[in-house]
A and B are shown apart, each in its own frame.
Chain A
Amino acid sequence: MSSERNHIVPYKTYVFVLLALIALTLSSIAITTIELGGLAYAGALVFAIVKSFLVLTWFMHLKYDKLYIILWVVFVFAILLVTVVVTFLDYLYR
């Protein structure tokens, strides 16, 4: 619709995001070569979270979307978080 704002993201931005994603992927592989014990999982998860954030923000256009769309996505991640927490009610208290 004409009343909606359109954003044309420059290719340069996409290329930067792509390079960042590749770098983070390589980093998440590289971190496994360091002996960090249980922290290696935490490291891999941090890299994955940052990558998801980049994809959602730029590739999936959330940066330019309306607030309610962003809230829906937050809601979905909240459900995922609750699911993980509930699963750990078993593992932490077993």
Chain B
Amino acid sequence: MSSIAIENEANYLKYKGRYKGLLGWILSTDHKRIGLLYLYSMAVMFLIGAGLGLAMRFELLAPGKTVMDAQAYNATFTVHGVIMIFMVVIPGLPAVFGNFFLPLMIGAKDVAFPRLNLLSWWFFIIGIFLVLSALLFGSGTPDTGWTFYAPYSFRTGTNLLPAIFGAFVLGFSSILTGLNFLVTIHRMRCPGMKWTKMPLFVWTLYGTAWIQLLATPVVGITLVLVALERLFSVGIFDPALGGDPILYQHLFWIYSHPAVYVMILPALGVISEIIPTFSQKHIFGYKAIIASTMAIAFVGYLVWGHHMFTAGMSGTAQYYFSLLTFLVAVPSAIKVFNWISTMYKGSINLQTPFLWAVSFIFVFMIGGLSGLVLGALAANIHVHDTAFVVAHFHYIVFGGTGFAFLGAIHYWFPKIYGRMYDKSWANIGWAVFFIGFLTLYTPMFYLGLMGQPRRYYDYLAEFHGGNILATIGSWILATGIIIIFANLIRSASRGEKAVMDPWHSKTLEWTVPSPPPVENFDEIPVLEESDGPYNYK
């Protein structure tokens, strides 16, 4: 494989098609441009969500009112949650890196339905504007939390309907992307790419796509029912009309727990790409990782009730959900063992993506183990709705998906832009981010165990020390984010030119020039029996 920098005038960044300028991007059906459209829109939403998170931490710097009152705090954590969940982490890895790299990794010229792919992005943007309209217009910013729990969601006087409708439209974006990926993976793999020769990132996209397709409609229809309840008082969730608010929680979590796996499965796939590349070694237990991916997707679909242990469910259901929650830990641990075994006796190259990958394993393990505390019925009663849950959730979602996302951008950046980032600044950004992350979220485990409830703008004086530490952590984390963003933005246009395969990886996306040509491959590649995604000598 050649490692010479190739100047390709027909690359997707420079290509001028039917439309020019901005229109050439927002009307493009090229999967690579659509991937970047998602990246840029999500980056903007992430910065807004992170700003709101900083504001919340600033409020919690001291007991009592610091910078906002209780109502403003309720609205802030609601909007922070809605933005981060529905607009950043759920679409996150599949929409950006799935779109960009799925066809490249399976040797295809595009996804199966390019126009549907563009429509998905447009649904995404329309959903964002609908949600934002709930903030800017009407009778106050929604204050229900991102879960829109009944019965408060149809009693609050705030402007909830546009937010619900926005989440509904965002769901369509997710469903269509999942459908597109499923068909692409089934029908468009290059000759010779059997199921057991697919890169593991593609496998995780496959598992994710099934969840997107099967689970998202449930939350869509549930949100419609909330809207009907608000508008016409139909009595499905309202106990005053004979409805059942716990039914809302069931329906919401039937989607929203699998949604956690929509966030985390592709992250596991990214790590499974980075570790063999930077260990220069065949991935350990390829088939075991595939089996654990599908097992997580399947079992993860059936554990939603562990979010509801204190809601008043039957003891039988609690027992079942707790048992299955513990079972999910098994395939998750299989992956970690496989990654560690891959590194063992490998030729490890400590580049930035690898640093993100190993720190991912560290925070993912802490997040996962704290999940077992929450999955145990007795312990759950003690820590439910405390800062412990906030810490666990952020360790998994931000520590898991976020670290993997940043690992992925540092891994595939040379391929996407054809340029290399400044490695020193990238490593500094990682270190500052990592320290900030630990300083911000680790105290919350302690605060939660001591009894500090979440979603309150005030707290008792005994929790002051931990909150000061967490707020200082948020400032360090923000500094890390600024360093990382500045380095990547600058490098996208001014970084030194990247070679075709700077990491000596073995997957197909590294066999095309950087940045890739518009149609990816001049000729569709054919895999021989001896070829494989991780065949390192």
- Say yes or no: is A30 at the interface (Cβ < 8 Å to chain B): no
Q: Which of B214, B246, B315, B320 lies in contact with A86, CB distance below 8 A? A: B320
Bound-state CA distance A76–B217 (Å) is 13
Q: Which of A76, A82, A87, A92 lies in contact with B250, CB distance below 8 A? A: A87
Identity of the chain B residue whose Cβ is nearest the Cβ of A87 in the assembled complex: B250
Cβ–Cβ < 8 Å partners of B254 in chain A: 83, 87
Bound-state CA distance A87–B251 (Å) is 9
- Say yes or no: is B530 at the interface (Cβ < 8 Å to chain A): no
| Interface residue ranges of A69-94 to B (CB < 8 Å) | 76, 79-80, 82-83, 86-87, 89-94
Count residues of chain A with CB under 8 A from any CB of chain B. 13
Cβ–Cβ < 8 Å partners of A94 in chain B: 312-314
Count residues of chain B with CB under 8 A from any CB of chain A. 14
Do A90 and B305 touch (CB < 8 A)?
A: yes
Q: Which of B214, B246, B301, B302 lies in contact with A90, CB distance below 8 A? A: B246
Q: How far is the CB of A90 from chain B (nearest CB, A)?
A: 4
Do B302 and A89 touch (CB < 8 A)?
A: no
Bound-state CA distance A58–B17 (Å) is 40
Cβ–Cβ < 8 Å partners of A80 in chain B: 214
Bound-state CA distance A89–B315 (Å) is 9
Q: How far is the CB of B106 from chain A (nearest CB, A)?
A: 19
Cβ–Cβ < 8 Å partners of A79 in chain B: 214, 301
Bound-state CA distance A40–B302 (Å) is 29
- Say yes or no: is B379 at the interface (Cβ < 8 Å to chain A): no
Identity of the chain A residue whose Cβ is nearest the Cβ of B254 in the assembled complex: A83
Identity of the chain B residue whose Cβ is nearest the Cβ of A88 in the assembled complex: B317
Q: Which of B214, B246, B314 lies in contact with A89, CB distance below 8 A? A: B314
Q: How far is the CB of B244 from chain A (nearest CB, A)?
A: 9
Do A89 and B301 touch (CB < 8 A)?
A: no
Scan B312-338; emit 1 where CB is below 8 A from any A CB, else 0. Answer: 111111001000000000000000000
Bound-state CA distance A91–B254 (Å) is 15
Q: Which of A76, A89, A92 lies in contact with B320, CB distance below 8 A? A: A89
What does DSSP make chain A's interface, helix, strand, loop or mixed? helix
- Given known contacts A76-B214, A83-B254, A93 and B315 CB-to-CB distance under 8 angstroms: yes
Scan B250-264; emit 1 where CB is below 8 A from any A CB, else 0. Answer: 100010000000000
| Interface residue ranges of B251-294 to A (CB < 8 Å) | 254
Identity of the chain B residue whose Cβ is nearest the Cβ of A80 in the assembled complex: B214
Q: How far is the CB of B214 from chain A (nearest CB, A)?
A: 6
Bound-state CA distance A86–B258 (Å) is 15
Cβ–Cβ < 8 Å partners of B313 in chain A: 90, 94
Bound-state CA distance A92–B312 (Å) is 13
Q: How far is the CB of B419 from chain A (nearest CB, A)?
A: 41
Do A89 and B250 touch (CB < 8 A)?
A: no
Cβ–Cβ < 8 Å partners of A82 in chain B: 302
Cβ–Cβ < 8 Å partners of A89 in chain B: 314, 316-317, 320
Identity of the chain A residue whose Cβ is nearest the Cβ of B251 in the assembled complex: A87
Q: How far is the CB of B30 from chain A (nearest CB, A)?
A: 26
Bound-state CA distance A83–B257 (Å) is 13
Q: How far is the CB of A32 from chain B (nearest CB, A)?
A: 15
Q: How far is the CB of A26 from chain B (nearest CB, A)?
A: 22
Cβ–Cβ < 8 Å partners of B302 in chain A: 82-83, 86
Q: How far is the CB of B533 from chain A (nearest CB, A)?
A: 25
Bound-state CA distance A87–B253 (Å) is 11
Scan B147-184; emit 1 where CB is below 8 A from any A CB, else 0. Answer: 00000000000000000000000000000000000000
Cβ–Cβ < 8 Å partners of B320 in chain A: 86, 89
Cβ–Cβ < 8 Å partners of B316 in chain A: 89-90, 92-93
Indicate the member of B214, B302, B313, B317 with the most A CB atoms within 10 Å. Answer: B317
Identity of the chain B residue whose Cβ is nearest the Cβ of A76 in the assembled complex: B214
Cβ–Cβ < 8 Å partners of A92 in chain B: 314, 316
Scan B20-51; emit 1 where CB is below 8 A from any A CB, else 0. Answer: 00000000000000000000000000000000
Cβ–Cβ < 8 Å partners of B317 in chain A: 86, 89-90, 93
Bound-state CA distance A16–B316 (Å) is 46
Bound-state CA distance A80–B301 (Å) is 10
| Interface residue ranges of A24-58 to B (CB < 8 Å) | none
Identity of the chain A residue whose Cβ is nearest the Cβ of B301 in the assembled complex: A79
Q: How far is the CB of A27 from chain B (nearest CB, A)?
A: 23
Identity of the chain A residue whose Cβ is nearest the Cβ of B213 in the assembled complex: A76
Indicate the member of B246, B301, B314, B315 with the most A CB atoms within 10 Å. Answer: B314
Indicate the member of A79, A86, A90 with the most B CB atoms within 10 Å. Answer: A90
Cβ–Cβ < 8 Å partners of B214 in chain A: 76, 79-80
Q: How far is the CB of B242 from chain A (nearest CB, A)?
A: 14
Bound-state CA distance A90–B315 (Å) is 8
Bound-state CA distance A87–B214 (Å) is 16
Q: List 7 A-B contacts (CB under 8 A).
A: A79-B301, A83-B254, A86-B317, A90-B316, A91-B314, A93-B314, A93-B315
Instruction: Give me the interface of B with A, judged by CB distance under 8 Å.
Output: 214, 246, 250, 254, 301-302, 305, 312-317, 320
CB-CB nearest 6 A-B residue pairs: A93-B314, A93-B316, A90-B317, A89-B317, A94-B314, A90-B313
Please name 5 further chain A to chain B contacts, defined as beta carbons within 8 Å, in addition to the given A79-B301, A93-B315, sorted by A numbering: A86-B305, A86-B317, A89-B317, A90-B317, A93-B317
